[in-house]
A and B are shown apart, each in its own frame.
Chain A
Amino acid sequence: MGEASVEHTHGHHMDPVVEYKSSKLGMWLFLGTEILLFGGLFAAYAIFRAKYPEMFFEQHVELNKKLGAVNTCILIFSSLTMAMGVSAIQRGKQKATAILILITILCGLAFGVVKYFEYSAKFHHHIYPDTSIFFSLYFMMTGLHMLHVFIGLAILAVIMVLTLKGKFTAKYNTPVEVGGLYWHLVDLIWIYLFPLLYLIG
């Protein structure tokens, strides 16, 4: 994404349509590697769950289903505002885009706050990543996801500032759309993490 904007300020060496399409394709390729990064953990989850079903059943009840559900709602709502933000910039509405991205950022922060309370409740009950394979997977999967939320928030903050500076228009908005794709992936992964960790044991 940084590259796309650098290219842009240096003048077009590429046809804008080609630049737009290849940026987006590059992002999809990157998202594929992200899915496979999490895929390793999902594979580990599948094996250990099948090997130790009792442990997964007994320990998953320790997780707070309600907080997990709240976070799911927060992330889905943030995906909605992000998607609406991309539509807004495609229509050239810079102010609306900045506001929608701000709401997305606030949702991401709220997700982090809920996660903070969840983790501290676990630590309070002396549950740590080395407590069991289940909690090892829980902390690793949600922790890696949380890292992605933080990276997404940094990307969104940059995009919001650039939007306010008037860098994006109805004609040029590739970073907004590509940044949006990253944020939706964060939502996509949580859609699987929530039922696998909190709901089924």
Chain B
Amino acid sequence: MATHSHTEEHHITSNKTYIIVWVALMVMTAITVYVSYINFGMLNIVIALVVASIKASIVALYFMHLKFEDSITWVFALFPLSLLALLIGMTITDTFTRTIVP
């Protein structure tokens, strides 16, 4: 931060970019809703979660400006996700490796 000589260096995203992002989000929403009417078995969950994650990434990168943030903000944004993965991963592993059902 000290190396920054300029005081106000905001990256202002253009409305055009935001509208493109919005259209992309709407298209992906339409895809998930459409796919939910077709039975792909377990693949339905995978598709829904992959599309949701792409949507979430776009929201974070563009609407939340993460794309233009410094590395420390990226650490603050991503670290909770690794904790979340640990939380869900460990809980599931525990639940499904127990021989005695609680």
Contact = CB atoms under 8 A, between A and B. Distances in A.
Interface of A: 16-18, 21, 24-25, 28-29, 31-33, 35-36, 39-40, 42-43, 46-47, 50-51, 65, 69, 72-73, 76-77, 79-80, 82-84, 87, 90-91, 171, 177, 180-181, 184, 187-188, 191-192, 194-196, 198-200
Given A28-B77, A73-B29, A187-B59, A39 B84 contact: yes
B19 A80 contact: yes
Contacts of B83: 36, 39
A87 B18 contact: yes
Contacts, number: 125
A33 B76 CA distance: 10
A29 B76 contact: yes
Contacts of A195: 32, 36, 48-49, 51-52
Contacts of A39: 80, 83-84, 87-88
B87 A83 contact: no
29 contacts: A16-B7, A17-B8, A24-B73, A32-B76, A32-B79, A35-B81, A36-B87, A39-B87, A43-B91, A46-B92, A47-B92, A50-B95, A72-B29, A76-B26, A80-B18, A83-B18, A83-B62, A184-B59, A187-B59, A188-B56, A188-B59, A191-B55, A192-B56, A194-B52, A195-B36, A195-B48, A195-B51, A198-B36, A199-B33
Interface in B17-75: 18-19, 21-22, 25-26, 29, 32-33, 36, 44-45, 48-49, 51-52, 55-56, 59-60, 62-65, 69, 72-73
Find the residue from B10, B19, B87 having the highest chain A CB count within 10 A.
Answer: B10
B77 A84 contact: no
A21 B2 CA distance: 12
Interface residues of B, number: 49
B35 to A, nearest CB: 8
Interface of B: 1, 4, 7-8, 10, 12-15, 18-19, 21-22, 25-26, 29, 32-33, 36, 44-45, 48-49, 51-52, 55-56, 59-60, 62-65, 69, 72-73, 76-77, 79-81, 83-84, 87-88, 91-92, 95-96
B64 to A, nearest CB: 5
Nearest to B60: A188
Contacts of B81: 35
Nearest to A29: B76
Contact of A36 (B12, B18, B63, B80): B80
